[in-house]
Amino acid sequence: MTVAAEKPLTAAIRSDGEVLGLREYEQTGGYQALKKALGEMTPQSVQEEVKKSGLRGRGGAGFPTGMKWSFVPVGPDAPRPRYVIANADEMEPGTFKDRYLMEGNPHQLIEGLILAGYAIQADVAFIFIRGEYKLAQERLAKAIAEAYAAGHLGKNILRSAFSLEMILHVSAGRYMCGEETGLLNALEGKRANPRSKPPFPPVAGVWGKPTIINNVETLVNVPHIIAKGFAWYQGLSRSRDPGTKIYGASGKVKRPGLWELPMGTPLGEILEEHAGGMRDGLKFRGVLPGGASTDFLVQEHLGVPMDFLEVQKAGSRLGTGTMIVLDDHTCPVGMVSNLIQFFAQESCGWCTPCWSGLNWAKQILAAMEEGRGKSGDLEKLQFQTKFLAPGNTFCALAPGAAEPLQSALKYFRDDFERHIREQRCPWRA
């Protein structure tokens, strides 16, 4: 594509907030990757190109995208229809990158979703979007209509043998809809409870048929990989994880926002050079590097490259790459209490550690904030982090919820102890 190589996902997005229509998208090279794939490549070669690129899921888990596609059964006896879904629910607190991509350049997502559909020979594509994203819904609906009118969707796309229908599905809400099997149940009109696995969605997904679910940011990488090749894509990075990443920062920084940067850009560089550092009079204390369900990193970690492996080595997860920054004038206990309250509210109630454990932790933290903390509370909270650990729950909601709590107890334990000792929140007037 003709957009700047160093920012392929966002270079074409207009700075005035207006949407890129079909004509403008095509002027940046849009739909050339689709023409190349349908005219020159087999579904298997599209899969292989994405696999060789090393693209990993940008929704939080970081699973290799091409490998995920390869799990879909193929051959004359493989089940039909097949489905491909863009997970645009984006309910992770502190995360707003997919909204920016959809509002600014909806055709980029549509082309990526069509290419993913071609790679697995899907029959129907869904964009599963959260109900609150009204502007993104309006712009996507218009872009889908434009794509149909241009022959990019529907029967025999671009006069090829490949056909794909695309449906914009507005979610009824709940954080659980972001978990892929919870999303599948919600799409079927059921309560968004997680499903047992196996079988996994590529084998038995929505309505029991093979289904691939990818995050929005993941999918918008695909047209650029197909257009320019895996070697070009790998060259965009500063680390072993290829490509660019949309990083974000919220909290009391001078310039909260989003920036597309090479994968592996150091944490401190993002906060200082792009977010502008802390507001005047405030000091950095810590950061949740990948949204609310990740462990805190602190001052000693500012040199950590923001990629999947290095953030994991530092004791957290890259997650969505959108950071929530903690300053020295904000109570870490109150911050964690607010997050645990959210996760407790959003628990589907399917398994005991999640619905019971999160509510127990919520009550303890609220009492500490109100000056009713007791001796032994920290031990109870520490127990909860083990109770909610991976392997003890039906899905990843509770283990993710435990991450900010367990890391806050590690790095900010004095703040918790002071709440109990002084019988008040020291940050309250």
Stronger pLDDT, 109 or 4, i.e. the higher one: 109
pLDDT in the model for residue 233: 96
- Cite the DSSP H helix spans in 202-245: 216-228, 230-234
Residue 303 tokens, joined: 């040199």
Phi, psi angle pair for 96, to nearest 5°: -150, 20
pLDDT in the model for residue 429: 65
Task: Report pLDDT digits (tens) over 200-249.
Answer: 999 999 999 999 999 999 999 999 999 999 999 999 999 999 999 999 99
C-alpha to C-alpha distances, 271 to 11, 247, 260, nearest whole angstrom:
21, 10, 13
Would you say the C-alpha torsion 18, 21, 23, 27 has a positive or negative sign?
Answer: positive
First to last CA, the chain: 55
Span 129-158, mean pLDDT? 97
Identity of the residue numbered 331: C
| DSSP state, residue 105 | -
pLDDT in the model for residue 1: 40
Domains (range + CATH), the chain:
22-234 (3.40.50.11540), 244-327 (3.10.20.600), 332-422 (1.20.1440.230)
Q: Which residues of 14-52 are buried (b: 16+ CB within 10 A; e: fewer)?
A: eeeeebbbbeebeebbbbbbbeebbeebebeebbbbbbb
The residue whose two tokens read 């609906």 is 141
CB atoms within 10 A of CB 113: 29
CA angle 332, 334, 337 (to 5 degrees): 110
Contact 219, 57 (CB under 8 A): no
Quick one: pLDDT band at residue 255, thresholds 50, 70, 90? very high
Span 96-100, mean pLDDT? 96
Residue 315 Rama label (left phi>0; alpha psi -120 to 50; beta): left
* Cis peptide bond upstream of 353, omega within 30: no
Q: How far, rounded to the nearest angstrom, does the alpha carbon of residue 113 sit from its chain's CA centroid?
A: 16
Task: Report pLDDT digits (tens) over 352-361.
Answer: 889 899 999 9
pLDDT in the model for residue 172: 82
Q: How far apart are CA 344 and CA 325, in angstroms?
A: 22
